[in-house]
Structure 1
Amino acid sequence: MDEISTERVAELLETDEPPTLVDIREPPAFQRGHIPGSRNVPFRQLPDRVAELADADHVVTVCPHGKASVQAAKLIDSYEGTADATVQSMAGGLSEWEGAVKSDDAEPDEGPAAPF
């Protein structure tokens, strides 16, 4: 499966046609911090929700360290509706991401401060 660097993802997000970012973490982790504009589709829901990505031209999967996102990218790439899309996993995951991170939490929970 093709991987894409965090730097290249940051560059593509500044273009007129940014990729569709699919963050595969569970909702609480996503809400603590995610790349702005990313879509939360937990890995366990991905087989049932992959059709939501059928119109995407470029999909980048995101996870904490870039391991599970490789499997998610393979699943998305195998879906008939995304056959013409470029599907990549963000190498290094959020642990390597140096760009902006958005939080949806109104009040931080007592969990770890890391966004994953």
Structure 2
Amino acid sequence: MSDRDDEITPVELNGLLESGKEVRIVDIRSPAAFERGSIPGSENVPFQELPREIEELAGAERIVTVCPHGKASLQAVRIIDSYEGTTGDVRSLEGGIDAWSRDYALESAEKAETGTDAPF
């Protein structure tokens, strides 16, 4: 299987999100990186914690893994796919959070908590 079969582009992911289809976005970056900015609606499961959290993800219809540049998230796809309880479609965000942020807004921890751009 080629890496492309394991990836989804930012445009494709945005289309899924806008259509309202169920998709779990699993950001495997560190909590500090996640707090600086993330894809709206994503959840933070740092890469090293993925094996412990994998059962929680198993029932999802669609999972998209996210890392800085799209390399580690390909490894995360393989880990999730190897779990026998995984039945859904698992893909890595092509180009990672960097590619997403070129065309789409990131959500910061402050904005998510307050609902505004205000830092306080």
Q: How does 1:34-53 map to 2 (within 5 A)?
A: 34-53=38-57
- Percent identity among equivalent residues? 52
Q: How does 1:1-116 map to 2 (within 5 A)?
A: 1=3, 2-82=6-86, 84-97=87-100, 98-105=103-110
Q: Is the 8 A contact 2:40 2:106 kept in 1?
A: yes
List gaps (5 residues or longer) in structure 1. Answer: 107-116
Distance in 1 (alpha carbons) for counterparts of 2:20 and 2:7: 21
Structure with more helix by fraction: 2
Distance in 2 (alpha carbons) for counterparts of 1:22 and 1:64: 12
- Greater relative contact order, per chain length (Cα 8 Å cut-off, separation 6+): 1
List gaps (5 residues or longer) in structure 2. Answer: 112-120
Calculate the TM-score normalised by the size of structure 2: 0.83
- In structure 1, give the amino acid aligned to 2:108: S
Distance in 2 (alpha carbons) for counterparts of 1:19 and 1:12: 7
Q: Which runs of 4+ in 1 moved over 6 A?
A: none
Count of residues in Structure 1 that have an aligned counterpart in Structure 2: 105
**C-alpha RMSD of matched pairs (Å):** 1.3
Distance in 2 (alpha carbons) for counterparts of 1:18 and 1:36: 14
- In structure 2, give the amino acid aligned to 1:18: E
